[in-house]
Amino acid sequence: MSAVTIPLAAGRTRAAPPVLSPELLARMGAPGPRYTSYPTADRFVEAFGPDDYRRALAARSAGPGGAAVQPLSLYLHIPFCESICYYCACNKIVTRQHDRAAEYLLALDREVALHIEALGARPRVSQLHLGGGSPTFLSDLQLARVVSTLRRAFSFEADAEMAIEVDPRTVDPARLERLAALGFNRLSLGIQDFDPQVQRAVHREQGFGQVELLMRAARPLGFRSISVDLILGLPQQTAASFGRTLEQIQALRPDRIALYSYAHLPERFKPQRRIAATALPTAATKAAMLGEAIAVLAAAGYEHIGMDHFALAGDSLAVARRRGRLNRNFQGYTDQPDGDLIGLGVSAIGRVGGCYSQNAKTLDEYYDALRQGVLPVVRGLAPTRDDLVRRAIVMALMCQGELDFQALSDAYLIDIRSAFAAEIAALQPLAEQGLLSLDRDGVCVSELGWFFVRSIASVFDRYLQADTARARYSRVL
């Protein structure tokens, strides 16, 4: 890896690390949360329900500035897919019956109306993300209806980010043009791997030429950022085969790359039972593949944003990272300011006024709540003061890679050094391994440590430290 330095908000710099060693990956790559929230979603409780969520929405509307408060982010979950991908751990409904979407869109209309009833007239929106499942399961007319419903209910900023996850098997250049006409300006393409043998093993076959055609068509249409998803550790994957996929990705030159590590949890995710554990690459092979992938992406001009995300230097995510303005929400790293996110659709998660909420995970339960005129929230969390302080610490580490003890003490009227003495002491071994620097003023994660920032942040996770059953999480790398 070539040596680079990345400026931090506090004026510090980090030097690029050597290639990650298998020994370090084995030592630091244990399962852990992704920290799209703190506390994490597995800590949500059913005691938090629709009435609690409605109060959080009403409090936002009644707060200082009313409708003029910071714009919202919206996440809308479309659960339908035409075929099953064996690696997938998302909430999804596999069907070829496209007419099933009609009832779902009616339910979304009711859910949006209930939100506006609580929030007041047309709250401002700066970010929209359609995920799934596969949002492109919907027809063009259905997608147009969704966008129209949202635009009537919310006031979108002129430069709002409108992102949609795209299954390349369901889209052609003409359809990309129609998506652009609806206002979508960012695409996320699910690729995972280009090797035909790997694709057959995970039941997701799509050719490089198919994706290349879409990428070439998207640029002139004004999509300002195109991201792709790759998965490391799939069945039949080898260092050589994944190296070829990386070469093809470089030829496509997406703005962002998410390089996820496959988590084989067949006891939790039924589709993964079709993947034989013996077909997965060994831990040593996977570690070598990861090290090579990181080196290849760095040489190709991609900056490491955090965890498994990379972006070209000119992308807004990389710019936010360099300027210390990176944030995280349930969609992952974002250049949007830290603020409220409303989750719409089955299983969607949101955060409003510090409170977390999650919708019903099954269509029957989701539909039933909305037929009764009730927001379909089935669980959530109203954070304690301790949660809020720890959230600030976890997110500072995950997004800026540093902690300023005095600034945190002033912000929360608490002596951070004293209140978190045990956690700070637990960082010392990580400092000795070169993953961070630690002194009386604070913590600064090294460039090597940045790859293991989930593990560093987890030191401050009170719930995780009391829980030895981490098998439900994916590995850090």
> What token pair was written down for 104?
């779902």
- pLDDT given at position 474: 59
Domains 5-33+384-465 and 41-344 share a fold: no
Q: What does the alpha-carbon distance between residue 292 and residue 239 come to, in Å, rounded to a whole number?
A: 9
- pLDDT given at position 65: 58
- pLDDT given at position 68: 52
Q: Please give the mean pLDDT across all residues of the chain.
A: 90
Q: Is 281 helix (H, G, I), strand (E, B) or coil?
A: coil
> According to the annotation, is 421 in a ligand binding site?
no
- pLDDT given at position 120: 86
357: β partners: 350, 380
Q: Is 384 helix (H, G, I), strand (E, B) or coil?
A: coil
4 pLDDT higher than 50: no
Quick one: which of 349, 320, 354 has its CA closest to 336? 320
Q: What does the alpha-carbon distance between residue 367 and residue 108 come to, in Å, rounded to a whole number?
A: 9
User: pLDDT tens for residues 367-384?
Assistant: 999 999 999 999 999 999
> According to the annotation, is 204 in a ligand binding site?
yes
User: pLDDT tens for residues 46-85?
Assistant: 999 999 999 999 999 876 655 457 899 999 999 999 999 9
Q: Which residue shows structure tokens 């989750």? A: 343
Q: What does the alpha-carbon distance between residue 252 and residue 221 come to, in Å, rounded to a whole number?
A: 16
What residue type is assigned to position 100 of the chain? R
279: β partners: none
Instruction: Judge contact between 399 and 327, C-beta under 8 A.
Output: yes
> According to the annotation, is 226 in a ligand binding site?
no
Instruction: Judge contact between 387 and 39, C-beta under 8 A.
Output: yes
11 pLDDT higher than 70: no
Long-range interactions of 69-72: CB distance < 8 A, separation 24+: 70/337, 70/339, 70/340, 71/123, 71/124, 71/125, 71/126, 71/127, 71/157, 71/160, 71/339, 72/123, 72/124, 72/125, 72/126, 72/127, 72/154, 72/339, 72/340, 72/341, 72/342
> According to the annotation, is 355 in a ligand binding site?
no
Could you tell me which residues come within 8 angstroms of residue 308 by beta carbon, excluding any fewer than 6 positions away?
258, 259, 260, 261, 477
> According to the annotation, is 165 in a ligand binding site?
yes
Q: Which residue shows structure tokens 């995780």? A: 464
> According to the annotation, is 364 in a ligand binding site?
no
* DSSP sequence for 99-161: THHHHHHHHHHHHHHHHHHHH-S--EEEEEEEEES-GGGS-HHHHHHHHHHHHHHSEEEEEEE
Q: State the fold for domain 41-344.
A: pyruvate-formate lyase- activating enzyme (3.80.30)
> According to the annotation, is 411 in a ligand binding site?
no
298 pLDDT higher than 70: yes
> According to the annotation, is 192 in a ligand binding site?
yes
HSE value, Cβ hemisphere, 13 Å, CA-based, for 441? 4
> What token pair was written down for 368?
């039933």
Q: What does the alpha-carbon distance between residue 242 and residue 257 come to, in Å, rounded to a whole number?
A: 14
Q: What does the alpha-carbon distance between residue 447 and residue 434 come to, in Å, rounded to a whole number?
A: 9
349 pLDDT higher than 90: yes
- pLDDT given at position 290: 87
- pLDDT given at position 32: 77
User: pLDDT tens for residues 247-286?
Assistant: 999 999 999 999 998 989 899 899 999 999 999 998 888 8
- pLDDT given at position 436: 96
Could you tell me which residues come within 8 angstroms of residue 141 by beta carbon, excluding any fewer than 6 positions away?
none
Instruction: Name the band, by pLDDT with cuts 50, 70 and 90, for residue 307.
Output: confident
Quick one: which of 30, 57, 152 has its CA closest to 351? 57
> According to the annotation, is 90 in a ligand binding site?
no
User: pLDDT tens for residues 334-343?
Assistant: 998 888 999 9
> According to the annotation, is 85 in a ligand binding site?
yes
- pLDDT given at position 165: 96
> According to the annotation, is 81 in a ligand binding site?
yes
Domain positions in the chain are: 5-33+384-465, 41-344
- pLDDT given at position 121: 80
% of the chain surpassing 70 pLDDT: 91
- Largest Cα separation within the chain, whole Å, is 61
Per-residue pLDDT, averaged over 428-448, amounts to 94
Q: Point out the least confidently predicted range of 4-18, 130-144, 220-234, 312-326.
A: 4-18
Angle at CA of residue 87, ends 82 and 88, nearest 5°: 55
Residue 198 or residue 23, greater confidence: 198
475 pLDDT higher than 70: no
- pLDDT given at position 123: 94
Instruction: Name the band, by pLDDT with cuts 50, 70 and 90, for residue 9.
Output: very low
> According to the annotation, is 333 in a ligand binding site?
no
Q: What does the alpha-carbon distance between residue 274 and residue 294 come to, in Å, rounded to a whole number?
A: 29
Instruction: Name the band, by pLDDT with cuts 50, 70 and 90, for residue 17.
Output: very low
- pLDDT given at position 166: 94
Per-residue pLDDT, averaged over 388-415, amounts to 96
> What token pair was written down for 308?
């498994």
Q: Which residue shows structure tokens 């993964």? A: 272
Cis peptide before 133 (omega within 30 of 0): yes
* CATH dotted code for 5-33+384-465: 1.10.10.920
Per-residue pLDDT, averaged over 124-148, amounts to 96
User: pLDDT tens for residues 197-224?
Assistant: 999 999 999 999 999 999 999 999 999 9
291 pLDDT higher than 50: yes
What does the radius of gyration of the chain's CA atoms come to, in whole angstroms? 22
> According to the annotation, is 116 in a ligand binding site?
no
User: pLDDT tens for residues 232-246?
Assistant: 999 999 999 999 999
HSE value, Cβ hemisphere, 13 Å, CA-based, for 44? 23
